[in-house]
Structure formats: C-alpha cells, structure tokens
Structure 1
C-alpha cells in the first residue's frame, strides 16, 4: 500500500528536478518552428529564376514576367518538354542553364519541339548534337565589348559584358561580342540556337550594368513563353546504380562486428566507472593573457610578417563568412566581393588583404587598424537590405528591332544600383 505514494513522490521529484531543462527544450523547439515559418522561401541555387543571390536570375525573371512573358521553371527533361509543348507553336524560348548534362538523344528530343534554344556555356559535344555551325574557340578575358554584329538583340543592347568561353561561327551563324554570343540555326529543328559564353551578364549582380539587361531581355523575352530549364545531375542517361552494388560484400558484416564490439566495450567500461565528480583545473589561463603572450613572442622575434599573416588570415576567414563566399575562396574573389559590398576599389582591397608585409611595428599597427576598418565596412554593408534592380523594357522586344536603342525597346533597361553610382572599378 505504501509503494504507490513513494513512486508518485519519485516522479514528482524528477519532474521538479528536470523542469528547467524541459522548459528550455520547449523554448528551443518553438523558436525553431517560428524561424522556419518566418524565413522567406527563396531559391538559393545559382542562376535560378527565384534566387535573389548575386549569382541568381530573379531580377531578370521578374522583369520578364512584368512585361508579359510567362516564365516556367523546369527541373527535369519531361517537365521542360511539357512546358514547351504546352506553349503556342514556335512561340517559346527554352533556356538551358547546364547543357553539358544532357546527351545527344535528349537534345534531339528538345530540338524537335520547335522551341528557340538558349544555351549557357555549352561544350563541343552538345554543339555537335545540335548544329555544325558553332564550335568552341577557347577562353577570353571578361570585359565590356561592343556587339560587332548585326543581330537585333546585340544591336539594341550595345556594349555589354563579354568574355568567358568563346565560339566560332560558320554556315550562316553570326558571332557577336568577340565570340561570346553566337546566333545560329538548329540542324534538326525549325528553331534558332543562341549560345551565351558569358552567363554572368544575366545574373542579379551584373544585369543592371551596361547593356546586360537589354541583351538578356531581348534574348529570353523574344517569345510569349520562357521555359527556364535547370538540368539536374540525376536527369541524365546514366543507369541508376543501387547502393549495394557500390560497396564490397564484406562491408556490412564488418560493420556488425565493429558495432557489437563497441557495445561490449561500453558495457565493460560503464560498469567499472563510478560517479562523475568535478575536479579543479591545475592552471587557469585567461584569454587576454594568451593573446598578450603571443604578441610578446612575435615582438621578441621581430616577426612582423608572421603577425601580419595571422591578422590577414583571420580577416579573410571572417570576410568569406560575411559575404557568403566559399571557405576556400581566393583573395581576388574575396576582394571583388568586398569591393562590391563596400564600394571600395577592388585593387585597394586586394592590396590590403595580400599586399607587402609590414617592415616594423608601426606599419603592423596601421595594417591592423586598416583591416579592422575594412571589417566594419563589410559588416555594415552586409546588414544593409538590398533592392532588386527594376527595368522597364518594351512588352514585345522583337516588335521593332531597328528602332533607336536610346528611345525604345529593351535598350532602356539599363538601371543602376539603387544604393550608389557605378564606378569604373565595378567592371572588371
């Protein structure tokens, strides 16, 4: 009769003992749910029509939609084919962002739909499957170049960002911007083929500069419907291989033996150990003393170069995280991104991050102060909300291809960044 009250008292005691931890877990779960519900659902992948990142294509897709172009995103070959077949006959543009993932058989299927194809940086194998008039010619440095051709889209856009992969044109194809923009016809279909060797001109970062927006709108908005096809690595002709075929036959028995040995080890050592007790540390060194000790060692060794290298590496690590770059990004990429965020000249940022080592302690102090000021500017620029550039091209960019670019058509779509005036160093 007395066992039940004792058990009840034990449960209530456990509840009182762990109620603080349980409350903390509930608060964390509620916070995670709220963050998930309130986070804007935007696509983070590169060059997708819903991505607001500098490498995304949201700005161009929004402007096309405002001008009456129906933009449909496709993630598979079947979805892209359905999107093309659901549009009006020969009144659809098919943009393929990674054409190298598709085989010749799949290109024949897409060419037979009658859509106008726009390919970003295709390789030789892809071009051989579609046409014999366009072949890769090499690589060129990125720069703003004049069209140098009579294609309506290039003539209306004027100077634009060019370079990257270049192509040679023959048999009726037309080469523009030094070979980075080529217009031709398909071998087995009624549509046209447009090859863009410099896809960055269509991204959010560069669309508002020079004639990039006009060139992108004329290229992708020539028809009423645009199918934005992002091939997936799984959307290929390679057969699906099961996981069991990739591992040796002895792997799973080995995993079972190792797991059983781990369980036996836990049981053995768990029975031998007693209660956990706290033990004071023999030495407690404060972080400030550690930093001061390192500084004295550098000073006694007159290693201003090593100290500067440590400061620059720490700054680069933080700048990569704040600007969203890869942890292994090089100094030129970090300098270009920081210059774009802060408005500083890119060469000056590059000199600060990877310039000459200081020759004495006053120069080392100046370098530390300059790096600290640069980090403050990047933090301030990274927390400032960005605004998507807006352009207002004509609703039908192919209606009057010979009109004056200064007064009509997509040539008006050259807005600048809303937060600052473009500088010469913004264009590499």
Structure 2
C-alpha cells in the first residue's frame, strides 16, 4: 500500500500510544529484570516474616543475646520469683505499687539516667534497690555509706565478706567499678559487690560494680548464678527496670529554643542574596525563533518508525485505525469527495466506482479492530487492494482526470 510522502507527522497520535502503553512496554522488554526484582523483594519479605524476633537490649530479661539477662530471669521464674520488666519510670512505679506489701526488689540497670526526685519516689516505696555501676551522683542521692574508688580488672575473686549471698555463691566474677563502704555498709569481692542502708526508707541498697555476672554469657560460670539469684530473688516480686534516655522528668524544650539567635537574620540575608543573584545571573527568554531541522527525514523512514512503535506497543487496533484513516483520506481525493465526507459516503462512492458491495466496503473502512498482527496484515492488504480498484475504476471512467469521477447525472 502506498504511503503519502507529505505526511511526516504522527498520523494517528503515536505519542498517545507511547504515553499510554510506555510503562507496559518497558515492563515487557525488561521482564527478566522485573521478575528478578520481584523474587528478591519476595525473599526479603519472607525472611523478615520468618526470622524470629528476639530482644537485643543489654540486660533485658527477655533477651537471649550474650549481653541479655534471659537466663537469670528464667531461673528466677523457676524459683517462684515473679519478674516484671519496666521500660519507663511510670511502669516501674506501677510494678512496685502492684507488689504485695514491701516484698519486692527493684533492679535498675542504668541508674545514672534517673534524677534525684525520681530516686526519692522509688525509695519511698520501701523496695530493696539493686543498681548496676552507679556513679557518685547516684550514690549521693541514695546513701551516705558508699563512695566510688575506681575501676579494677575483671577476674574471679573470693567473697571476702560475710554476706549470705556472697557465702552462698563463693568465688564469682568481680572487678569493674569498685566502691568503699562505711557506716554500716559491707563490701565484697574487692569492692565490686556492696550492700548499704538507704539514707531514707526501710529498704537496702545493693551495688554491682561488675554487672556482667547477670548476663547470659557469664551467668553459668563460677558462682555468678548463685550470686545473681540471691541478690535478685530475695523477694517474691522483682521489677526489672531498664530506664529509657528519652523518658525524662525534665520539661520539654522546643527545638527552636536550641537554635542560635542569629540564625533567623542570617537565613533572611542569604535568601535576599539568592534572589538578587537570580535577578542578576538569570537568563532572559526572548521570542521563539524557528530553526531548520539538522537533518531531513524521509517520509518512508517516518512511516517505518511509526510502524515499529506500533509493533513494540502491540497497538494493532491503533495501527488499524491509522491505516483506515489514511486510506479514507486518499479515497476521498481519488473519488472527488469533500475532505470532510463521512465513511458512509466514501463507502457508497467507492462501491459505485468499483462495483463492490457498499456494506463490505464500509466494514473494511470502519469495521472491528484486528485482534493480532496477522489480522492487521490482512487488513492492510485488503485496503491496498481497495485503493488499486478505485484507481483503476476512476482511470477507466475519466482517463484525463483520474482524481474526479463523473456520474451519469452530472452529464448535461
């Protein structure tokens, strides 16, 4: 079928086809890579869902990590000690309030995060306190009988005291921070395990300068487990408090209060400088100027490019409509019809010139879209044959003016 050389543009909106089916075509062209990405994503989701979720916090009674405390918590539970984990100060107070009477122990894993006011509220509950590696400020808020003395290397040491927990445990892991005891306090294991009376309240204070003996890694060695059980299992209720650095009793400070006062004026000056720079260096757009194309594209190449776009997008219906519209446009010119004439008029005129049935011609010019590429090829051949018949019919009717057909009623 012949192509009109003067039509070098998009005959049927190929841009629309590309816009609509571009994503689908891209997926089809790269279906292997897309499938690989989907497999990787599905595998990652399955691994995430099937991986057992365990607590990783240090000294957490639910953590099975080497630095966790699940082993000690499980043994305490077997001995009838009810352990309640608390991650906030309110939760710790609630656990202490829920304990029967004063038969409760409070373990604080990071005592330096608590303020003096919070320590006063905890001491007022009457619970026995066990704190890990407290600093001088924490000790000053709790007792007058202890003071830090330094740090010692980790090693297994004998108790060196008469506390029941130390006698039951025997040699255990010691070292870390050490403390000096006075005024009724007792120091064991070279000062890394100390008991002292609280300044206020009936409870006692136990300080562990070597808290690693509570962890899963060291609990089963030497006398560490016995020392941990005697220390934390003295009462039937244990509140295991892991303070959160964000859980503070300090008033909330807005972020704007942390900004320096000169930041606002500096931002204003920089913004004004940026606007001046844009006005100074920005390009001024003038009127549009037509320029010739750098190359001349032949009509045949344009038609072939459109055809490949249609084929890659599998737009057989759109391609068929483009072929039918181009054929109808040429048939109007060949039969002398108005360029705006409808398909029915073109079919009637072509039927009169070629002798074909008008419904068959109308079906060929405006029928259903082909379902696949072979049907599209057959349609193109049929349209080309129809044009040849029209050209042959108009040439036989009026050889001198092949573009005009003279009907009998037009003859004077």
Within 5 Å, which residues of 2 pair with 1:9-408? 10=22, 12-248=24-260, 249-250=263-264
1:2 Cα offset (Å): 4.3
1:113 Cα offset (Å): 0.7
TM (norm. structure 2) is 0.59
Q: What is the alpha-carbon distance in structure 2 between the residues aligned to residue 232 and residue 44 of structure 1?
A: 14
**Cα 1:178/1:12, change in 2 over 3 Å:** closer
The 10-residue stretch of structure 1 (9-18 or 251-260) with the greater mean CA deviation from structure 2: 251-260
SS of residue in 2 equivalent to 1:136: strand
**Residue deviations 1:3-42, cap 9 Å, x none?**
4894566454233124334333322322222122112211
Q: CA RMSD in A?
A: 3.0
Q: What is the alpha-carbon distance in structure 1 between the residues aligned to residue 272 and residue 33 of structure 2?
A: 37
TM (norm. structure 1) is 0.56
SS of residue in 1 equivalent to 2:194: strand
Q: What is the alpha-carbon distance in structure 2 between the residues aligned to residue 255 and residue 65 of structure 1?
A: 64
1:161 Cα offset (Å): 0.9
**Cα 1:88/1:191, change in 2 over 3 Å:** same
1:258 Cα offset (Å): 12
**Cα 1:150/1:10, change in 2 over 3 Å:** closer
| 2:369 corresponds to | none
SS of residue in 2 equivalent to 1:244: helix
1:82 Cα offset (Å): 0.4
**Residue deviations 1:342-364, cap 9 Å, x none?**
xxxxxxxxxxxxxxxxxxxxxxx
Q: What is the alpha-carbon distance in structure 1 between the residues aligned to residue 61 and residue 249 of structure 2?
A: 26
Question: Whose radius of gyration is greater, 1 or 2?
Answer: 2
SS of residue in 2 equivalent to 1:219: helix
For structure 1, list consecutive stretches of 5 or more residues without a partner in the other structure: 261-267, 269-428
| 2:384 corresponds to | none
SS of residue in 1 equivalent to 2:184: coil
Q: What is the alpha-carbon distance in structure 2 between the residues aligned to residue 238 and residue 254 of structure 1?
A: 36
Q: What is the alpha-carbon distance in structure 1 between the residues aligned to residue 116 and residue 45 of structure 2?
A: 46
Q: What is the alpha-carbon distance in structure 2 between the residues aligned to residue 24 and residue 240 of structure 1?
A: 49
The 10-residue stretch of structure 1 (133-142 or 5-14) with the greater mean CA deviation from structure 2: 5-14
**Residue deviations 1:165-202, cap 9 Å, x none?**
11122222211111111112212111111111111111
SS of residue in 2 equivalent to 1:164: strand
Q: What is the alpha-carbon distance in structure 1 between the residues aligned to residue 213 and residue 61 of structure 2?
A: 14
Q: What is the alpha-carbon distance in structure 2 between the residues aligned to residue 73 and residue 101 of structure 1?
A: 17
SS of residue in 1 equivalent to 2:84: strand
**Residue deviations 1:43-90, cap 9 Å, x none?**
112221122222221211121122221111111111100011111111
**Cα 1:258/1:14, change in 2 over 3 Å:** farther
Q: What is the alpha-carbon distance in structure 2 between the residues aligned to residue 106 and residue 222 of structure 1?
A: 24
Q: What is the alpha-carbon distance in structure 2 between the residues aligned to residue 258 and residue 32 of structure 1?
A: 49
For structure 2, list consecutive stretches of 5 or more residues without a partner in the other structure: 1-10, 276-282, 284-412
Q: What is the alpha-carbon distance in structure 2 between the residues aligned to residue 255 and residue 219 of structure 1?
A: 62
**Cα 1:146/1:259, change in 2 over 3 Å:** farther
